[in-house]
Amino acid sequence: MPRPLVAFLTGAGISTDSGIPDYRGPAGLWTRHPEYEKLVTYSYYMADPAIRQRSWQMRRETLASGPQPNAAHQAIAALAASRAAAVRVITQNIDGLHQAAGLPDRQVLELHGTSRFVVCTSCATREPITDVLGRIDEGLPDPPCVECGGILKTATVMFGEALDPGVLQAAAAVVRGCSVLFAVGTSLQVYPAAGLVPLAVEAGARLVIVNASPTPYDSIASSVVREPIGTALPRLLRELAAA
């Protein structure tokens, strides 16, 4: 008998316990520092070397803080390892913490890319962000591509850039095929990611929302959980595995 497919749509809220602030919450990065949004907006980033330098420093500070997977990331990885269900994660996050918790890359779809790698905007050369931060430490505040001299950026989807259509298509296939979709730590207000939720429900999936604040899709959810994610999600997944 095939294992049920359990899908997760995760947002910034799942990583706050790892020390990574969300963006739009009361203590969110952009709430406290509205100007930071420019650091992840493609047009500003490409036009202004000063913006790029500040953006690299922001990435360096995040990496230096050493964020680690928390109980919620680990609970998802544990469910996958238990083989009680087939697990797929669709994440709006760029931090790589699902993989750090033990999920292989093939089970994680990163809608907004990853900050673990850097890509050249001219020749598409790709390298680990640690290599680029090393060059910054050597005195290059806005390091160029080592292959062509082009402008480098993290391999993330900035404001003003389109999502990878292949990744989005794969995510839609996952939610249409899952038996339950957990929407965790996401406001479900950013599209096209939020549009995956009605696709899942229309295909017959049970929707469980675990988020601190209301979302536009609470009314179609089978269950809405407002408890802290780090305690609520491990409990919910233990119950699911035991069912």
Q: Is 33 a catalytic residue?
A: no
3-state class of 31 per DSSP? helix
3-state class of 88 per DSSP? strand
Report the alpha-carbon distance of residue 45 to residue 38 in Å, rounded.
7
Instruction: Enumerate long-range contacts of 55-58, CB under 8 Å, 24 or more apart.
Output: 55/153, 56/132, 56/133, 56/136, 56/141, 56/142, 56/143
Out of 33, 73, 98, 112, which one is annotated catalytic?
A: 112
Report the alpha-carbon distance of residue 125 to residue 3 in Å, rounded.
39
104: burial class by Cβ within 10 Å (0-12, 13-18, 19+)? exposed
61: burial class by Cβ within 10 Å (0-12, 13-18, 19+)? exposed
Cβ neighbours of 192 (radius 10 Å): 12
Q: Which residues are catalytic?
A: 112
